[in-house]
Amino acid sequence: MLGTHATGSSPYSRRLVFMLLLLVLLFLPTLAQAQVQIKVNDDVWIRFGTQLQIWADEQQDATTKGFSENLYVRRARFLLTGSVAPNVTFFIQTDDPNLGKTPKALTAGFLLQDGWAEWKLNDEFALEAGLMIIPLDRAELISTTSFMTIDISPTSNVFATPTQTSGTRDTGFQAKGYLDDGRLEYRAGLFQGVRTAATATSTASNNAFRHSFWLNYDFFDKETGYVYKGTNLGTRKIVAVSSGYDAQRDYKAYSASVHATIPEPGKDEFAVLAQGVHYDGGKFLTTLPRQNDYLVEGDWYFAPLKVQPFAKYEDQHFTIASTPSKDQKRYAGGLNYYVAGQNLKFTGQATHVKPSNNALHATNEYTVQMQVWYY
């Protein structure tokens, strides 16, 4: 955890200093104009950002049918991007997630969400190293600021806990580049994965590393960067097909998806994401049963009203039957209201979860979010 081990100061004082520093940077025009940025020259600079998502949430229990109610900070992030030499950049992002949610803890402190550096030789090849998103599926590669719905799809990060992944991230090295005039993006990474414990006959952490591969092809406007946008609010025409692969020993997962954001007359937008992911933990990850998970979500952005109704469907289907069944379906719908684009956005969503297990009740969840974002 960051900010909890330094001597001579409390977590509160260090947070206060960080907040004051950020405010100073925000309001010093000599340091930043269009963005919060300190610039030494074209090759050496630092850029700052922040994200807050505050939730009011009511979630039903499948056994008791009662509701738990929470007011909490879903995400509290500080972002730092910089360049230290020609074609050498870095990205650091901290987060204090689910702050105040039951079981309530307001002093947990910030954690490292992302922390990686990139050496770019050319558009076709760059080497990245550090803590970064595992490139398995499109939904988990979408920026948390621009989701079509209120949050990441649960079926897109089923792998996280069994593979010892931190918020869809892992440490390692990754090659990345753009081919075919920038339309085809690839990512190929070698990551830490699950490390084995020592035994009487072998040392600890001597097993094979995790490896991942990603391809994304854009037919119209081109996408670049660390993450994608779920909605472009009528500004870009995106039609992309993607596929990802993640494996370690006999654990394997792969995905296929289609994502589109289509500008319409009047600066409206129609957006849709359709995705399928196959997971199989094998004998290595026994807590990850073999399953096929499907996601379809879409929205329509009405530019004059700044509103965006959306709907989502998910199907989690286990390929090996069990008693009772673990299969379930999720239905969700809601509305985004953009006061100032993604910089100030309000979202409301209702979710219905229908388990195949008759011993469990169908459940509902009602969530309202306020997002403040600057980067």
pLDDT-derived band at 338 (thresholds 50, 70, 90) equals: very high
| CATH number listed for the domain at residues 11-374 | 2.40.160.10
Question: Residues of the chain with pLDDT > 90: what percent?
Answer: 82
The answer to whether 74 touches 98, Cβ cutoff 8 Å, is: yes
pLDDT-derived band at 11 (thresholds 50, 70, 90) equals: low
pLDDT-derived band at 277 (thresholds 50, 70, 90) equals: very high
User: Residue 25 is inside which H or E element, if any?
Assistant: helix 11-26
pLDDT of residue 357: 86
The yes-or-no verdict on residue 14 having pLDDT over 90 is no
Mean residue pLDDT across the chain: 91
CA gap 217, 213 in Å, rounded: 14
CA gap 187, 166 in Å, rounded: 19
Residue entry with tokens 């933990």: 281
Q: Model-level pTM?
A: 0.89
Q: What angle do CA 153, 159, 164 make, to 5 degrees?
A: 125
Q: Lowest mean pLDDT: which of 34-43, 182-191, 201-210?
A: 34-43
Among residues 78, 79, 81, the alpha carbon closest in space to that of 44 is found at 81
Long-range contacts formed by 311-315: CB under 8 A, 24+ apart: 312/148, 312/149, 312/153, 314/153, 314/154, 314/155, 315/155
Domain ranges of the chain: 11-374
CA gap 124, 121 in Å, rounded: 8
Q: If you average pLDDT over residues 162-179, what whole number do you get?
A: 97
The yes-or-no verdict on residue 30 having pLDDT over 80 is no
Who has greater pLDDT, 361 or 214?
A: 214
Among residues 309, 132, 348, 134, the alpha carbon closest in space to that of 231 is found at 309
The answer to whether 173 touches 189, Cβ cutoff 8 Å, is: yes
pLDDT-derived band at 188 (thresholds 50, 70, 90) equals: very high
**What tokens appear for 66 in the block?**
């009662």
pLDDT of residue 4: 38
pLDDT of residue 6: 44
The answer to whether 255 touches 168, Cβ cutoff 8 Å, is: no
- Give phi and psi for 199, each to the nearest 5: -125, 180
The yes-or-no verdict on residue 134 having pLDDT over 70 is yes
pLDDT of residue 252: 98
